Amino acid sequence: MQQLFSVYTKMTSTSTQVMLQYRLTNIFWLLGMVFEPLIYLVMWSNVADTQGGSVAGYSVASLTGYYIAWTLVRQWNIALTPFGFEQRVRQGQLTPLLLRPLHPFHYDLADFIALRIVGTLYWIPIGVGLVWLLHPQLSGDPLVIGLFCISLVLSFLMRFVLVYALGMAVFWTTRVSAIFNLYFAIETILSGRLVPQALLPDWAQALANVLPFRWSFGFPIEIIIGKLSLSQILTGIGIQCAWGLGAAIVFGWLWRSGIKRYSAVGA
Amino acid sequence: MRRAVSLAWHYFRLAVMNELQYRLNFFIQLLESAIALVTALVVLALVYSHTDSLGGWNRYELQALLGVYTVLMAVIRVSMQPNIERLIGDIHQGNFDFVLTKPMDAQWQVSIREVRVWQLIDVVAGLLIVADAVWRLGNQISLWQAGLFGVTLLLGIAILYAVWMLIGCIAFWAIRIDNVFELFDNVASAGRLPVTIYPGWMRIILTYIVPMAFAVTVPAQVITARIDATTVLIQAGVALGFLVLLRVVWRWSLTQYSGASA
């Protein structure tokens, strides 16, 4: 356990330093990432304006807060996609990873944690700038901010395991990109990336609650803009943990049966 | 001129013949296009479940705009993006020498070499969305209006071609420009909404730097009958301006190329 921890800290710090070198690349990437929510914000603010200042309980100020928090949560929402995993298996890149002392999952996770750290560092000036410029409605309560940070990290971990497990499908067939696209399309709509959950029709809201997507995106945002009560927040954090653990168990099982089928193409 | 067109036709035929070997890809692309389209239409329905008008556009007017956007983005993926990717690769590996030694104009050559045939599905899908929107709006579309729509759509393609190629020219100087393209793609996605609803500074970007205002909004305005002839003339002027600018920058870029392999 202690060895695992030290591997994580070493891997993370190495990856962080590697990624900090590409400054211009990182800035372009971040700028692009801010543009997407800006479009949604303009769209829904416009709707709120025509509906007398608010839509489904969201005023322009809370929509602004929603989409500013969005930019940070989106950072923490990036995982090793099945497409990345598919490429690995197709090109035989998985083979050398299997020879390493730890499970490849650990190296990937450490790598992505490093990315999140770098991303967050770059995000801070942009986030502060946006808050200062746009006067959003955000919660200033230290307890809420603390819970937001916890749920942010949990949203990353749970989605990372979930999407990683999804990538295991590649062991059985390598032409499933359409299915992954369908998954991500549903995620885009139900997670809160496109619209706050409250703006969905009732049946879709109910669906979003039982599926994992909302818990890895909309939920932390709703915490920080002050939409949720303390008990709702704690329940949500519990649901995040449950999804993460459930996905980890399924992943372990899929990996064990899938790796037997792996034939090391290209090696 | 005739030789230039026939060369483009041959490249296109070659790409079609090549792709026809992989028919499964057609169905995969069909499925992926359907997913993207349904997502876009769901968002549209969602927005208009809360309001009747977005920036003065009703639901089916915005659907027409979305169709135009789909067509133009598909054209980028069919032709511009793969061609520019190949150009960048050629510059880095020195293969660009072979382009320069051929008798055909270099800019024309690098613009026609690649075609992603299956992506044409999205062009068709986008046009169907426009047609459906027009039908639901119940407006009478005159032949003249349909023709004008075609012209403005082509002008929109010309504008995007020039802008994308201009960015591609950066490859003559800088090594890694894939992130610049990603940024432009993100900015271009703002074209899904009429440019008039954006705040001032974004409108400036979308008019002068990534001119989605002229590329997407103008054809959509034509087909939803909310435009006068002057705007179309301005669009034509913008297209011409960007093409001339591209020509100048392209020639200047060529003088910078020294042949990486030599």
pLDDT tens for each residue of chain A, 267 residues long: 788 888 888 888 888 888 777 777 777 778 878 888 999 999 999 999 888 888 888 999 999 999 999 999 998 998 888 888 888 887 778 888 888 888 889 888 988 898 888 889 889 998 999 999 988 989 888 999 999 999 999 999 999 999 999 988 888 876 677 788 888 989 999 999 989 999 999 999 999 999 999 999 999 999 999 999 999 999 999 999 999 999 999 999 999 998 888 776 554
Q: Identify the pLDDT of residue A264.
A: 63
Asked whether the beta carbons of A264 and A92 are under 8 A apart, the reply is: yes
* SS3 call for B257: coil
Interface residue B39 vs chain A (CB under 8 A): yes
- Under DSSP, the state recorded for B199 is -
Distance from CA of B242 to the nearest CA of A (A): 23
Distance from CA of B246 to the nearest CA of A (A): 23
Q: Identify the pLDDT of residue B260.
A: 58
Mutate to test the interface with B, among A38, A176, A186 (most CBs of B within 10 A): A38
Distance from CA of B103 to the nearest CA of A (A): 37
Amino acid at B150: G
**The dihedral sign for the CA sequence B108, B114, B117, B123:** negative
Chain A residues whose CB is inside 8 A of the B22 CB are none
Nearest to A32 among B51, B54, B182 (CB): B182
Chain A residues whose CB is inside 8 A of the B176 CB are 25
Chain A residues whose CB is inside 8 A of the B179 CB are 24-25, 28-29, 32
Residue A63 burial (C-beta neighbours within 10 Å; 0-12, 13-18, 19+)? buried
Query: Given an 8 Å threshold on Cβ–Cβ distance, is A182 in contact with B35?
Result: yes
Q: Identify the pLDDT of residue B183.
A: 83
- Dihedrals phi, psi of B123, to nearest 5 degrees: -65, -45
Q: Identify the pLDDT of residue B261.
A: 54
Sorted by sequence, the CB contacts under 8 Å of residue B188 that are 6+ apart come out as B73, B210, B212
Nearest to A55 among B50, B186, B193 (CB): B50
- Dihedrals phi, psi of A261, to nearest 5 degrees: -90, -10
Q: Identify the pLDDT of residue B220.
A: 92
Residue B93 CA to its chain's centroid (Å): 27
Distance CA B168, CA B84 (A): 6
Query: Given an 8 Å threshold on Cβ–Cβ distance, is A178 in contact with B35?
Result: yes
Distance CA A125, CA A122 (A): 7
Chain B residues whose CB is inside 8 A of the A36 CB are 186, 189
This prediction has a pTM of: 0.88
Nearest to B198 among A31, A42, A175 (CB): A42
Q: Identify the pLDDT of residue B262.
A: 47
Flag residues of chain B having pLDDT under 70.
175, 259-262
Interface residue A182 vs chain B (CB under 8 A): yes
Interface residue A51 vs chain B (CB under 8 A): yes
Distance CA B27, CA B118 (A): 9
Nearest to B28 among A28, A177, A188 (CB): A177
Sorted by sequence, the CB contacts under 8 Å of residue B77 that are 6+ apart come out as B116, B119, B122
